[in-house]
């Protein structure tokens, strides 16, 4: 595995920095988000307190990984020119740490030193968002890809299930149509160990702030959140035809702009010989309606020069479906 390395030492409270930094500037679009940093730190043990020294070494090592990341994005000159903003970010370096693990840890009882070597992964989306918001760098708003998160209550769902265990029918359909249209979609499975269930549910329920946070942590530009539900209805076709109505209600949230850029609600019905076949067909029909609106909206949002446009689009809420397990209307 390729690592990016840096080494920190602390002697008598003075931090001596020795870092291996890449080229002067690395284009953000070419940055490898999945490459971890290998960072080391060594501190003096005071009053024989090795536990406290170990914690301090970890903190310094995590700060080291963030500083190296910032220098790679901005270059050494850009880092120095924005020194004050850089220090503000480094003071809360833990905020940008996705995960870390120990590669090495040691205590020197004779020399009274404690050191660690860590493998660190960062939330690149959160870093780029902060840089953009503070005017330090532009064009770091996130990769042009979407994340789709739908909470679905359907006839075929067999009651409530863990939100992580089953990908909803509506989410799979929307994902397939987006990919066919050339819009990259990030799988929800990549979030399972990074996002809490509470935050996920909150975002789906319409909490824009949580949707923005999820998008920033994942590094995507747009997060599509919403609800879907299906119910059987009495049809005129007779007892042999099973009629199902499906409704989907979504919002498109821009994580860099921290705002809703589009909203859409729609429904469709289908009648087939078997109720689950009717449900699947209804999902397919309403999915096409939703994406026929969202795809050009997203493409317009990603068109150069459109970033400053406030693209607030909405459609009247879906008519209420009797006995629907989930309410429709605004999220």
| pLDDT per residue as tens, the chain (331 positions) | 545 554 443 332 322 222 222 322 223 333 444 578 999 999 999 999 999 999 999 999 999 999 999 988 888 888 998 999 999 999 999 988 988 999 999 999 999 999 999 999 888 777 877 887 777 765 555 568 899 999 888 887 765 556 777 788 999 999 999 999 999 998 887 777 777 888 888 998 888 888 888 887 777 889 999 999 999 887 565 556 688 999 999 999 988 777 899 999 999 999 887 888 899 999 999 999 999 999 999 988 887 544 444 434 333 333 333 333 333 333 3
CATH number of the domain at 143-301, please?
3.40.50.10610
Strand partners, 272: 242
Q: What pTM was estimated for this model as a whole?
A: 0.55
Give me the half-sphere count of Cα atoms (radius 13 Å) on the Cβ side of residue 18: 7
Residue 263 has which token pair? 């909203």
State the span(s) of the chain assigned CATH 3.40.50.10610. 143-301
SS3 content of the chain, % helix, strand, coil (to 5): 35, 30, 35
Nearest-angstrom CA–CA distance, 319 and 302: 31
Nearest-angstrom CA–CA distance, 19 and 83: 17
Helix (H, G, I), strand (E, B) or coil at 284: helix
Residue 242 has which token pair? 């099973």
- What is residue 192's DSSP assignment? T
- What is residue 45's DSSP assignment? P
Q: CB–CB of 169/247 below 8 Å? A: no
Nearest-angstrom CA–CA distance, 261 and 146: 13
**What is the H or E stretch that residue 75 is in?**
helix 50-81
């Amino acid at each position: 595995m390729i690592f990016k390395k840096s080494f920190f030492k602390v002697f008598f409270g003075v931090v001596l920095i020795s870092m291996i930094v890449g080229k002067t500037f690395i284009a953000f679009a070419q940055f490898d988000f999945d490459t971890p940093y290998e960072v080391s730190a060594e501190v003096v043990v005071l009053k024989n307190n090795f536990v406290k020294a170990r914690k301090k070494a970890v903190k310094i090592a995590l700060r080291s990984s963030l500083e190296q990341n910032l220098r790679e994005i901005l270059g050494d000159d850009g880092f120095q020119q924005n020194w004050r903003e850089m220090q503000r970010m480094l003071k809360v370096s833990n905020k940008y740490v996705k995960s870390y693990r120990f590669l090495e840890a040691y205590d020197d009882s004779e020399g009274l030193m404690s050191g660690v070597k860590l493998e660190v992964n960062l939330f690149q989306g959160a870093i780029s968002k902060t840089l953009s918001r503070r005017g330090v760098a532009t064009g770091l708003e996130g990769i042009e890809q979407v994340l789709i998160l739908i909470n679905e209550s359907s006839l075929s769902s067999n009651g409530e299930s863990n939100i992580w265990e089953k990908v909803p029918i509506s989410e799979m359909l929307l994902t397939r149509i987006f990919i066919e249209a050339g819009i990259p979609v990030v799988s929800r499975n990549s979030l399972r160990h990074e996002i809490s269930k509470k935050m996920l549910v909150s975002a789906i329920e319409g909490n824009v702030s949580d949707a923005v946070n999820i998008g920033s942590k994942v590094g995507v530009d747009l997060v599509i959140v919403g609800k879907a539900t299906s119910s059987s209805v009495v049809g005129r076709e007779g007892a042999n035809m099973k009629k199902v109505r499906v409704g989907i209600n979504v919002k498109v949230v821009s994580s860099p702009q921290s705002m809703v850029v589009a909203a859409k609600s729609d429904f469709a019905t289908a009648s087939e010989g078997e109720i689950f076949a009717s449900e699947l067909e209804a999902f397919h029909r309403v999915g096409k309606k939703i994406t026929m609106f969202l795809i050009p909206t997203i493409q317009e949002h990603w068109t150069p020069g459109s970033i400053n446009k406030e693209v607030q689009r909405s459609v009247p809420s879906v008519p209420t479906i009797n006995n629907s397990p989930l309410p429709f209307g605004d999220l």
